[in-house]
Chain A
Amino acid sequence: MVNDENERVAAAHAGWLALARDGDRHAFARLVRAHQSRVRLQLRRLTRGDAALADDLAQETFVQAWLHLNEFRGDARLATWLHRIALTRFLQHVRRPQLPQEWCEPDADDEPGHDPRAVEGLSRDVERALQALSEIQRLAVVHCFHLDLSHAEAAQVLGLPLGTLKSHLDRAKTRLRELLGAWQPESAT
Protein backbone atom coordinates (compact mmCIF):
# COMPACT_ATOMS: atom_id res chain seq x y z
CA MET A 1 0.00 0.00 0.00
CA VAL A 2 2.82 2.38 0.96
CA ASN A 3 4.72 1.37 -2.17
CA ASP A 4 1.64 2.08 -4.31
CA GLU A 5 1.38 5.52 -2.75
CA ASN A 6 5.09 6.17 -3.30
CA GLU A 7 4.82 5.08 -6.92
CA ARG A 8 1.79 7.30 -7.42
CA VAL A 9 3.64 10.28 -5.96
CA ALA A 10 6.75 9.51 -8.02
CA ALA A 11 4.64 9.28 -11.19
CA ALA A 12 2.96 12.61 -10.40
CA HIS A 13 6.34 14.25 -9.78
CA ALA A 14 7.72 12.82 -13.04
CA GLY A 15 4.72 14.27 -14.88
CA TRP A 16 5.19 17.69 -13.28
CA LEU A 17 8.89 17.54 -14.10
CA ALA A 18 8.18 16.80 -17.77
CA LEU A 19 5.68 19.67 -17.95
CA ALA A 20 8.05 22.03 -16.12
CA ARG A 21 10.80 21.20 -18.59
CA ASP A 22 8.46 22.37 -21.33
CA GLY A 23 8.13 25.68 -19.50
CA ASP A 24 4.96 25.01 -17.50
CA ARG A 25 5.46 27.22 -14.42
CA HIS A 26 2.39 25.78 -12.68
CA ALA A 27 3.91 22.32 -12.82
CA PHE A 28 7.17 23.75 -11.46
CA ALA A 29 5.24 25.43 -8.64
CA ARG A 30 3.90 22.01 -7.67
CA LEU A 31 7.43 20.65 -7.58
CA VAL A 32 8.52 23.58 -5.41
CA ARG A 33 5.62 22.89 -3.06
CA ALA A 34 6.59 19.22 -2.88
CA HIS A 35 10.27 19.85 -2.13
CA GLN A 36 10.32 23.19 -0.31
CA SER A 37 10.24 21.79 3.20
CA ARG A 38 13.23 19.49 2.85
CA VAL A 39 15.34 22.02 0.95
CA ARG A 40 14.59 24.72 3.54
CA LEU A 41 15.33 22.32 6.41
CA GLN A 42 18.65 21.40 4.80
CA LEU A 43 19.58 25.06 4.42
CA ARG A 44 18.49 25.91 7.96
CA ARG A 45 20.87 23.22 9.10
CA LEU A 46 23.67 24.59 6.92
CA THR A 47 23.06 28.18 8.05
CA ARG A 48 22.93 27.05 11.68
CA GLY A 49 19.33 28.00 12.14
CA ASP A 50 19.22 31.32 10.26
CA ALA A 51 15.71 30.84 8.86
CA ALA A 52 15.62 34.06 6.82
CA LEU A 53 18.94 33.35 5.13
CA ALA A 54 17.96 29.71 4.60
CA ASP A 55 14.72 30.76 2.90
CA ASP A 56 16.56 33.24 0.66
CA LEU A 57 19.02 30.54 -0.36
CA ALA A 58 16.18 28.05 -0.87
CA GLN A 59 14.46 30.54 -3.14
CA GLU A 60 17.66 30.97 -5.14
CA THR A 61 18.00 27.20 -5.26
CA PHE A 62 14.61 26.80 -6.91
CA VAL A 63 15.27 29.67 -9.32
CA GLN A 64 18.54 27.99 -10.34
CA ALA A 65 16.69 24.69 -10.72
CA TRP A 66 14.09 26.36 -12.96
CA LEU A 67 16.74 27.97 -15.15
CA HIS A 68 18.71 24.73 -15.50
CA LEU A 69 15.88 22.21 -15.49
CA ASN A 70 16.85 20.92 -18.91
CA GLU A 71 20.29 20.03 -17.54
CA PHE A 72 18.75 17.61 -15.02
CA ARG A 73 19.51 14.27 -16.65
CA GLY A 74 17.39 12.20 -14.30
CA ASP A 75 20.31 9.99 -13.18
CA ALA A 76 19.51 10.91 -9.60
CA ARG A 77 16.26 11.78 -7.85
CA LEU A 78 15.11 15.35 -8.27
CA ALA A 79 15.40 15.77 -4.49
CA THR A 80 19.09 14.83 -4.60
CA TRP A 81 19.69 17.32 -7.42
CA LEU A 82 17.90 20.08 -5.51
CA HIS A 83 19.83 19.36 -2.30
CA ARG A 84 23.07 19.52 -4.27
CA ILE A 85 22.11 22.90 -5.78
CA ALA A 86 21.16 24.11 -2.30
CA LEU A 87 24.52 23.08 -0.87
CA THR A 88 26.32 24.76 -3.79
CA ARG A 89 24.32 27.97 -3.25
CA PHE A 90 25.24 27.86 0.43
CA LEU A 91 28.93 27.37 -0.36
CA GLN A 92 28.78 30.26 -2.82
CA HIS A 93 27.20 32.36 -0.09
CA VAL A 94 30.01 31.60 2.36
CA ARG A 95 32.53 31.87 -0.50
CA ARG A 96 33.90 28.37 -0.09
CA PRO A 97 34.57 25.94 -2.93
CA GLN A 98 33.75 22.97 -0.71
CA LEU A 99 32.73 22.09 2.83
CA PRO A 100 35.08 23.90 5.21
CA GLN A 101 37.79 21.71 6.71
CA GLU A 102 37.08 22.93 10.24
CA TRP A 103 33.65 21.36 9.97
CA CYS A 104 35.36 18.00 10.34
CA GLU A 105 36.48 18.97 13.86
CA PRO A 106 34.11 18.41 16.80
CA ASP A 107 32.57 21.55 18.31
CA ALA A 108 34.02 21.29 21.82
CA ASP A 109 32.12 24.39 22.97
CA ASP A 110 28.82 22.85 22.04
CA GLU A 111 29.14 19.82 24.31
CA PRO A 112 25.72 19.35 25.85
CA GLY A 113 25.93 19.56 29.56
CA HIS A 114 22.45 18.43 30.36
CA ASP A 115 20.50 15.31 30.96
CA PRO A 116 18.50 14.58 27.82
CA ARG A 117 15.59 13.39 29.92
CA ALA A 118 15.31 16.84 31.44
CA VAL A 119 14.35 18.38 28.09
CA GLU A 120 10.95 17.91 26.57
CA GLY A 121 10.67 16.15 23.27
CA LEU A 122 12.73 13.71 21.33
CA SER A 123 13.60 16.14 18.55
CA ARG A 124 15.01 18.69 20.93
CA ASP A 125 17.18 16.07 22.67
CA VAL A 126 18.51 14.79 19.38
CA GLU A 127 19.06 18.36 18.27
CA ARG A 128 21.14 19.05 21.34
CA ALA A 129 23.08 15.83 20.92
CA LEU A 130 23.77 16.75 17.30
CA GLN A 131 25.51 19.90 18.51
CA ALA A 132 28.24 17.69 20.01
CA LEU A 133 29.16 16.36 16.60
CA SER A 134 31.44 17.92 14.06
CA GLU A 135 29.58 19.84 11.38
CA ILE A 136 30.29 17.21 8.75
CA GLN A 137 29.02 14.43 11.02
CA ARG A 138 25.93 16.51 11.75
CA LEU A 139 25.33 17.03 8.03
CA ALA A 140 25.80 13.32 7.36
CA VAL A 141 23.17 12.47 9.98
CA VAL A 142 20.77 15.15 8.79
CA HIS A 143 21.04 14.21 5.13
CA CYS A 144 20.69 10.47 5.75
CA PHE A 145 18.08 10.40 8.50
CA HIS A 146 16.22 13.71 8.44
CA LEU A 147 16.20 14.38 4.68
CA ASP A 148 15.72 10.68 3.95
CA LEU A 149 18.50 10.37 1.39
CA SER A 150 20.35 7.10 0.82
CA HIS A 151 24.03 6.99 1.74
CA ALA A 152 24.98 7.28 -1.92
CA GLU A 153 22.66 10.25 -2.42
CA ALA A 154 23.94 12.01 0.69
CA ALA A 155 27.53 11.45 -0.43
CA GLN A 156 26.64 12.93 -3.83
CA VAL A 157 24.97 15.98 -2.26
CA LEU A 158 27.83 16.64 0.17
CA GLY A 159 30.48 15.95 -2.46
CA LEU A 160 32.13 13.25 -0.36
CA PRO A 161 33.31 9.77 -1.30
CA LEU A 162 30.79 7.17 -0.14
CA GLY A 163 33.30 5.53 2.22
CA THR A 164 34.09 8.88 3.86
CA LEU A 165 30.41 9.60 4.39
CA LYS A 166 29.84 6.18 5.95
CA SER A 167 32.82 6.71 8.21
CA HIS A 168 31.44 10.08 9.41
CA LEU A 169 28.05 8.48 9.87
CA ASP A 170 29.42 5.60 11.95
CA ARG A 171 31.34 7.98 14.22
CA ALA A 172 28.29 10.19 14.53
CA LYS A 173 26.06 7.28 15.48
CA THR A 174 28.54 6.06 18.09
CA ARG A 175 28.68 9.52 19.65
CA LEU A 176 24.92 9.95 19.51
CA ARG A 177 24.39 6.57 21.17
CA GLU A 178 26.52 7.74 24.07
CA LEU A 179 24.71 11.06 24.34
CA LEU A 180 21.23 9.68 23.85
CA GLY A 181 21.65 6.66 26.08
CA ALA A 182 18.66 7.81 28.08
CA TRP A 183 16.44 7.35 25.06
CA GLN A 184 15.77 3.70 24.29
CA PRO A 185 14.89 2.97 20.66
CA GLU A 186 11.53 1.65 21.90
CA SER A 187 10.73 5.05 23.37
CA ALA A 188 10.87 6.57 19.90
CA THR A 189 8.10 4.35 18.59
Chain B
Amino acid sequence: MNDDDSFEAFLRASAPKPLADDGFVARTMKAVDAANATLPARRRAAAPSPLAIARAIAAEQRRHELQARSWRWAIAGVAVGYLMMLVTVVTSPSGLRLETMSPSQFTPLAVVTAIGAFWVAWRTLRNG
Protein backbone atom coordinates (compact mmCIF):
# COMPACT_ATOMS: atom_id res chain seq x y z
CA MET B 1 0.00 0.00 0.00
CA ASN B 2 1.61 3.31 -1.06
CA ASP B 3 1.28 6.64 0.67
CA ASP B 4 -1.64 7.73 -1.51
CA ASP B 5 -3.56 4.54 -0.75
CA SER B 6 -2.88 5.02 2.96
CA PHE B 7 -4.19 8.56 2.84
CA GLU B 8 -7.31 7.47 0.97
CA ALA B 9 -7.90 4.73 3.55
CA PHE B 10 -7.46 7.40 6.20
CA LEU B 11 -10.11 9.57 4.55
CA ARG B 12 -12.46 6.59 4.23
CA ALA B 13 -11.99 5.87 7.93
CA SER B 14 -13.07 9.43 8.67
CA ALA B 15 -16.49 8.92 7.05
CA PRO B 16 -19.40 9.88 9.30
CA LYS B 17 -21.17 7.03 11.03
CA PRO B 18 -24.22 5.64 9.22
CA LEU B 19 -27.43 7.43 10.16
CA ALA B 20 -30.03 5.49 12.12
CA ASP B 21 -33.43 5.06 10.51
CA ASP B 22 -35.30 7.08 13.19
CA GLY B 23 -38.60 6.58 11.39
CA PHE B 24 -37.26 7.85 8.07
CA VAL B 25 -38.27 4.71 6.16
CA ALA B 26 -41.81 4.78 7.58
CA ARG B 27 -42.22 8.47 6.71
CA THR B 28 -40.83 7.87 3.24
CA MET B 29 -43.18 4.96 2.58
CA LYS B 30 -46.10 7.14 3.67
CA ALA B 31 -44.96 9.72 1.12
CA VAL B 32 -44.65 6.95 -1.49
CA ASP B 33 -48.24 5.84 -0.76
CA ALA B 34 -49.43 9.45 -1.00
CA ALA B 35 -47.64 9.84 -4.34
CA ASN B 36 -49.26 6.63 -5.57
CA ALA B 37 -52.68 7.94 -4.58
CA THR B 38 -52.23 11.12 -6.60
CA LEU B 39 -51.22 9.26 -9.76
CA PRO B 40 -53.92 9.47 -12.45
CA ALA B 41 -55.90 6.26 -12.63
CA ARG B 42 -55.18 4.17 -15.67
CA ARG B 43 -57.46 5.11 -18.54
CA ARG B 44 -60.23 2.60 -18.95
CA ALA B 45 -62.46 2.32 -22.01
CA ALA B 46 -65.74 4.07 -21.26
CA ALA B 47 -68.77 1.75 -21.19
CA PRO B 48 -70.83 2.21 -24.37
CA SER B 49 -74.19 3.94 -23.94
CA PRO B 50 -77.43 1.92 -24.56
CA LEU B 51 -78.10 4.06 -27.65
CA ALA B 52 -74.66 3.22 -29.09
CA ILE B 53 -75.26 -0.47 -28.36
CA ALA B 54 -78.67 -0.33 -30.15
CA ARG B 55 -77.13 1.42 -33.17
CA ALA B 56 -74.33 -1.16 -33.38
CA ILE B 57 -76.84 -4.04 -33.21
CA ALA B 58 -79.03 -2.43 -35.91
CA ALA B 59 -76.02 -1.92 -38.20
CA GLU B 60 -74.95 -5.51 -37.70
CA GLN B 61 -78.50 -6.66 -38.48
CA ARG B 62 -78.53 -4.65 -41.74
CA ARG B 63 -75.16 -6.12 -42.78
CA HIS B 64 -76.48 -9.60 -42.07
CA GLU B 65 -79.68 -9.05 -44.09
CA LEU B 66 -77.72 -7.61 -47.02
CA GLN B 67 -75.44 -10.64 -47.04
CA ALA B 68 -78.38 -13.07 -46.82
CA ARG B 69 -80.11 -11.32 -49.73
CA SER B 70 -76.94 -11.55 -51.84
CA TRP B 71 -76.70 -15.27 -51.15
CA ARG B 72 -80.36 -15.78 -52.04
CA TRP B 73 -79.92 -13.96 -55.37
CA ALA B 74 -76.75 -15.95 -56.12
CA ILE B 75 -78.48 -19.28 -55.47
CA ALA B 76 -81.49 -18.19 -57.50
CA GLY B 77 -79.19 -17.20 -60.36
CA VAL B 78 -77.49 -20.59 -60.37
CA ALA B 79 -80.87 -22.37 -60.27
CA VAL B 80 -82.33 -20.25 -63.11
CA GLY B 81 -79.19 -20.75 -65.19
CA TYR B 82 -79.40 -24.51 -64.67
CA LEU B 83 -83.07 -24.52 -65.65
CA MET B 84 -82.37 -22.44 -68.75
CA MET B 85 -79.65 -24.89 -69.72
CA LEU B 86 -82.07 -27.81 -69.31
CA VAL B 87 -84.78 -26.05 -71.32
CA THR B 88 -82.29 -25.23 -74.07
CA VAL B 89 -81.10 -28.84 -74.23
CA VAL B 90 -84.59 -30.27 -74.17
CA THR B 91 -85.91 -27.93 -76.87
CA SER B 92 -82.85 -28.29 -79.09
CA PRO B 93 -83.78 -29.70 -82.56
CA SER B 94 -80.73 -31.95 -82.60
CA GLY B 95 -81.34 -33.35 -79.12
CA LEU B 96 -78.73 -34.03 -76.46
CA ARG B 97 -75.16 -34.62 -77.63
CA LEU B 98 -72.09 -35.06 -75.42
CA GLU B 99 -68.63 -34.03 -76.67
CA THR B 100 -65.29 -34.13 -74.87
CA MET B 101 -63.34 -30.87 -74.98
CA SER B 102 -59.60 -30.47 -75.20
CA PRO B 103 -57.94 -28.76 -72.13
CA SER B 104 -56.96 -25.73 -74.20
CA GLN B 105 -60.63 -24.99 -74.72
CA PHE B 106 -60.94 -24.40 -70.94
CA THR B 107 -58.33 -21.61 -70.99
CA PRO B 108 -60.72 -18.64 -71.51
CA LEU B 109 -63.01 -19.94 -68.77
CA ALA B 110 -60.01 -20.44 -66.41
CA VAL B 111 -58.79 -16.90 -67.10
CA VAL B 112 -62.22 -15.38 -66.45
CA THR B 113 -62.63 -17.46 -63.28
CA ALA B 114 -59.18 -16.46 -62.01
CA ILE B 115 -59.89 -12.76 -62.67
CA GLY B 116 -63.18 -13.08 -60.84
CA ALA B 117 -61.54 -14.85 -57.91
CA PHE B 118 -58.84 -12.16 -57.62
CA TRP B 119 -61.46 -9.43 -57.81
CA VAL B 120 -63.52 -11.01 -55.00
CA ALA B 121 -60.38 -11.56 -52.91
CA TRP B 122 -59.24 -7.94 -53.42
CA ARG B 123 -62.64 -6.55 -52.45
CA THR B 124 -62.80 -8.81 -49.41
CA LEU B 125 -59.36 -7.75 -48.21
CA ARG B 126 -60.00 -4.07 -48.91
CA ASN B 127 -63.25 -4.09 -46.97
CA GLY B 128 -61.67 -5.99 -44.08
In this complex, how many residues of chain B approach chain A with their Cβ under 8 Å: the count is 27
Judge whether A59 and B7 touch: CB under 8 Å. Answer: no
Judge whether A66 and B32 touch: CB under 8 Å. Answer: yes
Judge whether A145 and B15 touch: CB under 8 Å. Answer: yes
- Contact A67-B21, Cβ < 8 Å, known A32-B29, A146-B16, A185-B10: no
Judge whether A145 and B11 touch: CB under 8 Å. Answer: yes
Judge whether B25 and A32 touch: CB under 8 Å. Answer: yes
B9 contacts A by Cβ under 8 Å? yes
Cross-interface CB contact of B19 among A29, A40, A126, cutoff 8 Å: A40
B28 to chain A, nearest CB (A): 5
Judge whether A36 and B19 touch: CB under 8 Å. Answer: yes
A-B contact count (CB 8 A): 90
Judge whether B28 and A36 touch: CB under 8 Å. Answer: yes
CA distance A180 to B6 in the complex (A): 13
Of listed A33, A40, A145, A189, residue having the most chain B CB within 10 A: A145
A139 contacts B by Cβ under 8 Å? no
B14 contacts A by Cβ under 8 Å? yes
CA distance A107 to B4 in the complex (A): 25
In this complex, how many residues of chain A approach chain B with their Cβ under 8 Å: the count is 36
Closest A residue, CB atoms, query B19:
A37
B21 to chain A, nearest CB (A): 6
Judge whether A59 and B28 touch: CB under 8 Å. Answer: yes
Give the residues in chain A near B9, CB-CB below 8 Å.
Answer: 185, 188-189
- Which label, helix, strand, loop or mixed, suits the secondary structure of the B interface? helix
- Which label, helix, strand, loop or mixed, suits the secondary structure of the A interface? helix
Cross-interface CB contact of B21 among A36, A127, A141, A177, cutoff 8 Å: A36
Cross-interface CB contact of A185 among B7, B15, B18, B39, cutoff 8 Å: B7
Give the residues in chain B near A37, CB-CB below 8 Å.
Answer: 18-19
Residues of B within 8 A of A (CB): 3-4, 6-19, 21, 24-25, 27-29, 31-33, 35, 39
Please, could you name 23 A-B residue pairs with CB atoms under 8 Å apart, sorted by A? Answer: A25-B29, A29-B29, A32-B24, A36-B28, A62-B28, A63-B31, A63-B32, A66-B35, A67-B35, A123-B15, A123-B17, A125-B14, A127-B14, A141-B11, A145-B14, A146-B11, A146-B16, A176-B7, A180-B10, A185-B3, A188-B10, A188-B14, A189-B13
Q: A59-B27, A123-B17, A185-B9 are in contact. List 16 more A-B contacts (CB 8 A).
A: A28-B29, A29-B28, A36-B25, A55-B24, A59-B24, A67-B35, A122-B13, A122-B14, A123-B16, A126-B11, A148-B15, A176-B7, A177-B7, A180-B10, A185-B7, A185-B10
